[in-house]
Amino acid sequence: MITKYLEIEGWFNLQEAYLNLVKRVPSYGNIVEIGCFKGRSTRFLCDALIAEAKPGVRVDVIDTFEGTTGEHDGLELGSMYDEFKNNLHDHLESSRVIPHVNRSDNQQLIDSFKDGSLDGLIIDGAHDEESVYLDTKNWYPKVKESGLIIWDDCEREPVRRGALKAFNDYDDADELRDSIWYITGDERWFGMIKGLNGKALGRKLKIFPEKKST
């Protein structure tokens, strides 16, 4: 049973979404997680990869480790990066987790990942519309066809607007937006399998629940 993540301060309720990603990612795949706070979600993800016998998957984590204005105001953040390293020490030592202490819109960092190289992308950084828009616009091309993309907090209107706006420049924008599944209830996330057949593939593989909420 995966429980160690519960010892880490933070917020995480995307267990089903992350487990779907773990099952889908190939044994030596690559996942990028944007936003990790002190590592609660990253701990769950990496422990789930071990449980699924996929220790070769690389998880690149992107965070400034400074918190987000308006979201973390009033919290005792301390040295977030030191806490993250302590919480993920075993996965860091094995090079399973590669931390990038940086903004997710840093162009040099973005360019260091090849287009079509990621098997999974998790967008859970700053939750304002512009940040979600840029994270989606900048990192969506990095995901390979049939890769899984997960956004957190689908109940937040700025998050949804930012994600959807990022597809405006694509000729098949309407089809892309229609391929997104919204999962409400306890988890409140939304996601898509990249590609025009992503919606059907997600249903076939049971990546998403049958009921879609918009």
User: Residue ranges of the alpha helices (H) in the chain?
Assistant: 15-24, 40-51, 80-87, 89-93, 107-111, 129-139, 157-165, 173-178, 198-204
CATH number of the structural domain spanning residue 46: 3.40.50.150
Classify residue 33: in a domain, yes or no.
yes
Quote the pTM value: 0.89
Classify residue 81: in a domain, yes or no.
yes
Give the domain range for residue 30: 4-204
Classify residue 192: in a domain, yes or no.
yes
Classify residue 177: in a domain, yes or no.
yes
Classify residue 131: in a domain, yes or no.
yes
Classify residue 211: in a domain, yes or no.
no
Report pLDDT for 76: 57
Question: In this structure, what token pair is assigned to residue 106?
Answer: 């840093």
Mean pLDDT of 35-54: 95
The DSSP code sequence of 98-117 is EEEES-TT-HHHHHTS-TT-
Give the pLDDT confidence of 52-87 residue by residue, as tens digits.
999 999 999 999 988 665 554 455 556 889 999 999
Give the pLDDT confidence of 125-175 residue by residue, as tens digits.
998 999 999 999 999 999 999 999 999 877 788 998 999 999 998 888 888
When the pLDDT of each residue in the chain is averaged and rounded to a whole number, the result is: 87
> Number of folded domains in the chain?
1
Judged against a pLDDT cut of 90, whether residue 188 lies above it is answered with no
Question: In this structure, what token pair is assigned to residue 129?
Answer: 């519309």
Classify residue 97: in a domain, yes or no.
yes
